[in-house]
Structure 1
Amino acid sequence: MRLTLTALFALAASPALAAGDKPFFSLANTDFVVLIAFVIFLGILVYFNVPGLVGGMLDKRANSIKAELDEAKALREEAQSLLASYERKQKEVQEQSARIVAAAKEEATNAATAAKDDIAKSITRRLAAAEEQIASAEASAVKEVRDQAIAVAVGAAKDVMAKQMDAKSAGAMIDTSIATVAEKLH
């Protein structure tokens, strides 16, 4: 109703009222006929509750838009929580990979140190074995030289004694040897 009165007053103040020779409230005036048709049209709209239907449709559309906005907000919050979750997981994975790399470096360092120690021990063992072999070979060589010297000395003594020995001195030597052996055995 307020709308029809507003439209009526707007037309009443229009320049068409001041424009013409014909009286305004005559059916010969087209402005008046258009005004009457417009008022009838507005009356029909009000009678069939078109503004209420349009308002209901707009309210329904507003409610559906609000529901879509609420759903979008919920989806956004869910996406943000997923993003935060993935960022946490990514940070955890990065920390874990850093720990793995650090552990691998430490293991490699420990393995290198252990390998160096093993090599040093192996070299020490080999040097000791080589020194033992050298000492054994040296002892063997000294023994051979002694044995050779003894053999040569015995051979030379035998030759000297054979040349200097007669029957009388051989008997005396045998007696002396038997006495020495008897003393040592008892």
Structure 2
Amino acid sequence: MADILTLLATSADGSAEPSILGMDSYQWVALAMAALIAVFVWKKVPGLITGGLDAKIAEIRNQLDEAKTLRAEAEALRNEYAAKIASAEKDAEAMLATAREEAEAVLVRAEAESETMVARRQRMAEDKIAAAERAAVAEVKASAVTAAAAASRKLIAQAHGSAADSKLADEVIASL
């Protein structure tokens, strides 16, 4: 059994390396790797690995498809909001134009009303002036009448005495 099992053998450089059944260590490592690969193939490990990779690939594809769908939805939403913004801008411009037109109409109406008010106040002022002139003329006439009556009384009192009054009274009575 010593031939079969040689535990130590000497190499060319004089160091001792283990060997079993006449095979060196590198040959045993190669044999172990071949056996391990054979067990992996027998247990269908490559199929499991490729199946796992295929599942991971499918999951990544699903995520990519979902991302594409989300991107398309986001772009549609962005386009929708861009259209809404454009519509809002058009509405704002229309409101601004309407407000300008209304402001202009209010300004025109205010100018017309102010002209009417100025004309009305001018008529009122002219009426007040005319009334003041009439009152002044009436007052002057009243003063003139009062002055004329006073002057007449004075003149009559100076020119007529009691004899002239009797004679005037007799003439009035005779004419009746």
The structural deviation recorded for 1:41 is: 1.8
Q: Which residue of 1 aligns with 2:171?
A: 171
- Give TM-score scaled by structure 1 length: 0.63
Question: Given that residues 27 and 33 in structure 1 are in contact (C-alpha distance below 8 angstroms), is that contact kept between their aligned partners in structure 2?
Answer: no
Equivalent residue in structure 1 for 2:119, among 113, 121, 124: 124
The structural deviation recorded for 1:130 is: 0.8
Instruction: Supply the RMSD in Å over aligned alpha carbons.
Output: 3.4
Query: Aligned partners of 2:168 and 2:43: how far apart in 1?
Result: 175
Aligned residues with identical type, % of pairs? 30
Structure with higher helix content: 1
Structure 1 segments unaligned to the other structure (5+ residues): 1-19, 21-25, 179-186
- Give TM-score scaled by structure 2 length: 0.66
Q: Which residue of 2 aligns with 1:183?
A: none
Q: Structure 1 residues 47 and 168 mapped into 2: Cα distance closer, same or farther (>3 Å)?
A: closer
Q: Are 2:87 and 1:92 aligned?
A: yes
Q: Which residue of 2 aligns with 1:36?
A: 31
Structure 1 window deviating more from structure 2 (124-133 vs 160-169): it is: 160-169
Partner letter of residue 135 of structure 1?
A
Partner letter of residue 92 of structure 1?
S
Structure 2 segments unaligned to the other structure (5+ residues): 1-11, 13-20
Q: What secondary structure sits across from 2:96 in the alignment? A: helix
Equivalent residue in structure 1 for 2:101, among 83, 95, 106: 106
Higher RCO structure, 1 or 2 (CA under 8 Å, sep 6+): 1
Q: Which residue of 2 aligns with 1:141?
A: 136
Query: Aligned partners of 2:170 and 2:49: how far apart in 1?
Result: 159
Q: Structure 1 residues 31 and 168 mapped into 2: Cα distance closer, same or farther (>3 Å)?
A: closer
Partner letter of residue 171 of structure 1?
E
Q: Which residue of 2 aligns with 1:16?
A: none
Q: What secondary structure sits across from 1:101 in the alignment? A: helix
Partner letter of residue 78 of structure 1?
E
Q: Which residue of 2 aligns with 1:46?
A: 41
Equivalent residue in structure 2 for 1:81, among 65, 76, 83: 76
